[in-house]
Amino acid sequence: MKIAKKQIIDNDPNFDLMWQWNKKGELTLNQDELYFLYQVIYVFGIIDGNPNYENRYALAHQKNQTYAYQAVMNLALVIKKHLTSS
């Protein structure tokens, strides 16, 4: 990933959430993996909160079983396992 793109991501306050999830979920994602995950989340429009866009786009990813879709599903499993169980 280009340095300029990393700088843009680093300056987004939402990227701090990635580090928090990584720590709180006791994940072992390195910095490059967190950059990838951040981009996957933005691909789905999850952060901007437009439900119409999110639903249509997510359905297209689901039908095609894209890597982005698989990454989100795996993240959901990890979060469910590590953050919702006590």
Tens-binned pLDDT, residue by residue, of the chain (86 aa): 778 778 888 888 778 888 888 898 888 889 999 988 888 777 766 655 566 656 666 777 788 888 878 888 888 888 888 877 65
pTM score above 0.75: no
Structure tokens at 21: 């999830």
Reduced to 3 states (helix: H, G, I; strand: E, B; else coil), residue 15 is helix
**Alpha-carbon gap, residue 85 to 2, rounded angstroms:** 37
